[in-house]
């Protein structure tokens, strides 16, 4: 996979070195690595025969490892803001790639017959056309709000995996990834607040963007990732939208028990910053709606 050097040249314009946000705070170092994961202690009988878990974890590894593309788009979009670009290149992208690497190794340990490279090549070819800078948010503040939605989705997803996993090493990996995703949310939220000040973006526009991303989240990339897992694992089997819908319905059973609905709703509302009385009434209602939708 192509990787950029740690300091992206697009971020290095000297006249814009301070960036629009003027933020420089970064988390130093990585808190975990693949060396911390006890792959040799995986209890294969607990998970190896479960096709849904295989599809879910293999597809997740594809989506995570494609983060070099997502990062390149974001760095282009925020060109000139050195702190944002530096955080994306030095913190966000390496952590996302590590998520993919950790999950890939798990997949290749538990399901060694799966041709991961071929599946990922198919996913990359299918999904790359959907991954364009032109499709990012209408303003920098609104794109940061949208990134908060994405990180809410990923942190909640891995919290669910941690809680629902039938295999302890997978739960450990999911716990590490979940913590990173929460850190990503905080990073994007910090930049969002700075851009909100700069742009003076109206609350209703933030709410509209958050809702738009909630509806869109995990749609095309998840479908194409699972489809490519299926095409490599079971070449003769048709995998279409109907199959995907049934797969998601089964995953939702795990979500009902282990998805952190209250935390997810609070994270989604934070960029909107609703008035306190509205928040007090709205949060419990939104949690009930989310549970009902799942």
- Residue 102: partners with Cβ closer than 8 Å, 6 or more residues away: 34, 37, 173, 176, 177
> According to CB under 5 A, which one of 181, 195, 229, 259 is a site residue for Fe ion?
181
Stretch that binds Fe ion, among 95-103, 115-123, 130-138, 199-207 (CB under 5 A): 95-103
Stretch that binds Fe ion, among 22-30, 40-48, 88-96, 250-258 (CB under 5 A): 88-96
Binding to Fe ion (CB under 5 A) within 140-159 occurs at 151, 154
How many other CB atoms are found less than 10 A from the CB of residue 120? Answer: 22
Of 277, 108, 264, 68, nearest to 185 by C-alpha is 264
- Residue 267: partners with Cβ closer than 8 Å, 6 or more residues away: 148, 151, 152, 155, 156, 185
Please give the full DSSP string across 158-208, using - where no structure is assigned: HHHHHHH-SSHHHHHHHHHHHHHHHHHHHHHHHHHHHHHHHHT--HHHHHH
Could you tell me the smallest distance in angstroms from the CB atom of residue 82 to Fe ion? 21
Site string (199-238) toward Fe ion, x via CB under 5 A: ----------------------------------------
Stretch that binds Fe ion, among 16-24, 25-33, 77-85, 99-107 (CB under 5 A): 99-107
Residue count at the site for Fe ion (CB under 5 A)?
Answer: 7
> According to CB under 5 A, which one of 96, 143, 167, 221 is a site residue for Fe ion?
96
Distance CA 71, CA 103 (A): 19
Residue 184 as a binder of Fe ion (CB under 5 A): the answer is: yes
Using CB under 5 A, list all residues that contact Fe ion: 64, 96, 99, 151, 154, 181, 184
């Amino acid at each position: 996979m192509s990787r950029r050097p740690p300091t992206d040249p697009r971020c290095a314009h000297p006249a814009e070195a301070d960036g629009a946000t003027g933020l420089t705070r970064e988390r130093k170092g990585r808190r975990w690595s693949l060396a911390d994961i006890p792959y040799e202690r995986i209890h294969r009988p607990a998970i190896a025969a479960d096709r849904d878990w295989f599809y879910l974890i293999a597809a997740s590894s594809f989506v995570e490892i494609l983060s070099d593309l997502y990062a390149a788009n974001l760095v282009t979009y925020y060109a000139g803001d050195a702190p944002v670009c530096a955080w994306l290149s030095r913190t966000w992208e390496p952590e996302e790639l590590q998520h993919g690497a950790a999950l890939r190794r798990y997949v290749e340990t538990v399901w060694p017959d799966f041709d991961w490279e071929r599946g990922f090549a198919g996913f990359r070819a299918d999904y790359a056309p959907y991954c364009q800078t032109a499709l990012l948010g209408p303003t920098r503040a609104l794109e940061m709000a949208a990134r908060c939605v994405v990180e809410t989705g990923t942190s909640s997803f891995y919290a669910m995996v941690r809680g629902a996993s039938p295999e302890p090493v997978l739960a450990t990996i999911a716990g590490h990834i979940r913590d990173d995703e929460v850190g990503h949310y905080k990073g994007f939220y910090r930049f969002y607040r700075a851009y909100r000040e700069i742009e003076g973006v109206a609350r209703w526009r933030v709410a509209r963007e958050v809702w738009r991303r909630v509806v869109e989240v995990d749609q095309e990339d998840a479908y194409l990732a699972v489809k490519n897992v299926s095409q490599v694992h079971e070449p003769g089997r048709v995998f279409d939208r109907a199959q995907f819908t049934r797969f998601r319905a089964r995953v939702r059973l795990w979500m009902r028990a282990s998805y952190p609905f209250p935390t997810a709703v609070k994270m989604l509302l934070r960029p909107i910053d609703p008035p306190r009385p509205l928040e007090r009434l709205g949060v419990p209602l939104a949690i009930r709606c989310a549970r009902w939708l799942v």
